Amino acid sequence: MTGLRVKLRENLWVLVAILVTMLWGSASPAVKVAFEYFNLDNRNVFSILLFAGIRFSGAGWLTLLFSRVVSGKTPRFHKGLIAPVINIAIFQTILQYIFFYIGMSVVSGTTGALLSSTGTFFTVIVAVVIGLEVMTGRKFIGIIFGMAGVIVLNLSSDLELIFRANGELLILLSAVCYAISNILIKHYGKDHNPLELSGFQFIFGGFVLVAVGLLGGGHIDWPSFSKSLVLFYLMLVATFGYGLWALLLKSHDTSQVVIFHTLTPVFGALFSWILLGENIWRWNTVVSLLLIALGISLINLKRKKPLSAVENGE
């Protein structure tokens, strides 16, 4: 029984990773709902950026509160955080969500979650290129299975893939920015509290997005209180999603963590069905889930040490 408890405790992070991807999966359809409630569309880019800035500024303060609860210490900004906060904010909040929000005004909720998950592939590749990790055969095959699941999920009945410059391409670019931000969080998280980094970069990045939106003439048509709660939910998604993700990246290999991001399109499809009424009950949804699960298992599978090594205390 004791061994089982230890095993469960050691693998608790897996449940946390799945929870995060579930939150991120709900984000794409929730953004589509928010666009409808706040009367936003792709013809008014600056209003979209203003909305994004408000979301992430709020998420930043919530993340700092989360950090206070978790660590028991009041977050304090100091000069050592200036470079990390700016660098992370550029890729994780400013560029990623400029591309993401504009792209989401064009693509469906399911497609948005699907293309966002390709950040998994880019993250592992970047980590290998810069020498942060070593590419193994098992890791490579796991990535292939995961990405195959992502592709299968987006196949239509006639096997057609749609790729528009102002839609799918922008979502893909946001995934590249997400990948770079993962590496930066892993790097800076060694010397700084990941939750503080996440909170302060959200505040800075959100401020930049708000400034750009206002300078461009953006405005928000505020809906009723009940409908405006979708904005608060999106703040919570960013707070707990990126906060918990940063903690996982600090304590585990990058590839072990980011492969779970391939679950995002599965949850995205599910929430798109619930919130937007999109049709997801297709054969490829089940096949995609199986491929993604196999990919996650391959990357996180730990080889048992030889008995001789165990006996020698290795």
> Which position has the token pair 């977050």?
75
Is 84 within a domain?
A: yes
pTM, full prediction:
0.76
Tell whether 306 is covered by a domain. Answer: no
Whether 313 is covered by a domain: the verdict is: no
pLDDT score recorded for residue 314: 36
User: So what's the pLDDT on residue 302?
Assistant: 56
Range of the domain at 260: 13-301
Residue 250 lies in a domain: yes
Domain for residue 2, yes or no?
A: no
Number of domains comprising the chain:
1
Q: How far is CA 146 from CA 20, 28, 288, in A?
A: 17, 20, 8
Asked if residue 81 belongs to a domain, the reply is yes
Tokens 């196949």 correspond to: 155
Q: Which residues of the chain have pLDDT under 50?
A: 304-314
3-state SS, residue 290: helix
pLDDT of residue 145: 84
Residue 3 domain-assigned (yes or no): no
Kindly state whether residue 314 falls inside one of the protein's structural domains: no
Q: Which residue has the tokens 């890791």?
A: 139
What is the pLDDT at residue 301?
Answer: 63
Q: Which of 87, 96, 85 is nearest to 122 (CA)?
A: 96
pLDDT of residue 284: 72
Tell me the two tokens of residue 106. 């064009």
